[in-house]
Amino acid sequence: MILIAAASEPELLIADEPTTALDVTVQAQILELVDRLKGEMGMSVLLITHDMGVVAERSSRIAVMYAGRIVESGPTASVLARPLHPYTEGLLDAVPRPGTRGTRLRTIEGSPPGLFTQTAPCAFAPRCRYRKPECDAARPPLREIEPGHEVACHFAPNLGLKGAS
């Protein structure tokens, strides 16, 4: 499918979960193919994935989405080292790390909203451990907190997230 999509020499290749359910060897081959095509054809790649390892290794920028909205975006290294949105923090806390065998991973409480579920102005508020009354009053705008690093949270970067000041 990737080769078929690349055959028309697009300026942008959108790869939606291209490595889901593949073993690590095939996954690596697919990602190497995408990188090779990107370089040879001079195209950009929009990689849609839940695999934070792939994101860390293969992207220069990241946009984290929740309930159809971007809640945080910026340079990959910056966002992964200093998450400023509670959802991004929760995603990163759920990634297993070396040396943590036998310890429970932290989870994000609750469930994502349904497609037709009415949510608070901040869609993540019902699951957010930092929830405050302002979250139920107005949708937080996506705003730049640091150069190139944007977040949609009323209280970022002052929530006490790991690495936040």
What pLDDT score does 77 carry?
Answer: 94
Q: Please list the residues that pair with 14 across neighbouring strands.
A: 46
Q: Which residue has the higher pLDDT, 76 or 159?
A: 76
What pLDDT shows up at residue 160? 59
pTM of the model: 0.85
Tokens 């990107």: give the residue. Answer: 38
Domain parsing of the chain, residue ranges: 1-59, 60-95+119-165
Averaged confidence pLDDT in the chain: 88
| Tokens encoding 103 | 């310890």
Closest CA to 13 of 21, 39, 80: 39
- Judge contact between 72 and 83, C-beta under 8 A: yes
pLDDT of residue 93: 87
pLDDT per position as a tens digit, 102-156: 788 788 999 988 888 777 799 999 999 999 999 999 999 999 998 999 999 998 8
56 membership: H or E segment, kind and range = helix 52-58
- Reported as a pLDDT band with limits 50, 70 and 90, residue 161 is low
Each residue of 5-20: pLDDT tens digit?
888 889 999 999 988 8
- CATH superfamily of domain region 1-59: P-loop containing nucleotide triphosphate hydrolases (3.40.50.300)
Q: 158 phi and psi, to 5 degrees?
A: -100, 25
Q: Helix/strand/coil (H, E, C) string of 69-105?
A: EEEEEEEHHHHHHCCCCHHHHHHHHCCCCCCCCCCCC
165 pLDDT tier (thresholds 50, 70, 90): very low
**Of the candidates 141, 146, 55, which has an alpha carbon nearest to the alpha carbon of residue 92?**
55
Consecutive H or E run containing 64: strand 61-66
**pLDDT score of 152:** 96
Looking at the predicted structure, is the pLDDT value of residue 57 above 50? yes
**Which of 96, 138, 90 has its CA nearest to residue 110?**
90
Q: Is the confidence at residue 60, as pLDDT, over 70? A: yes
Q: How far apart are CA 5 and CA 107, in angstroms?
A: 36
Give percent above pLDDT 70 in the chain.
96
152, 74 contact by CB (below 8 A)? no
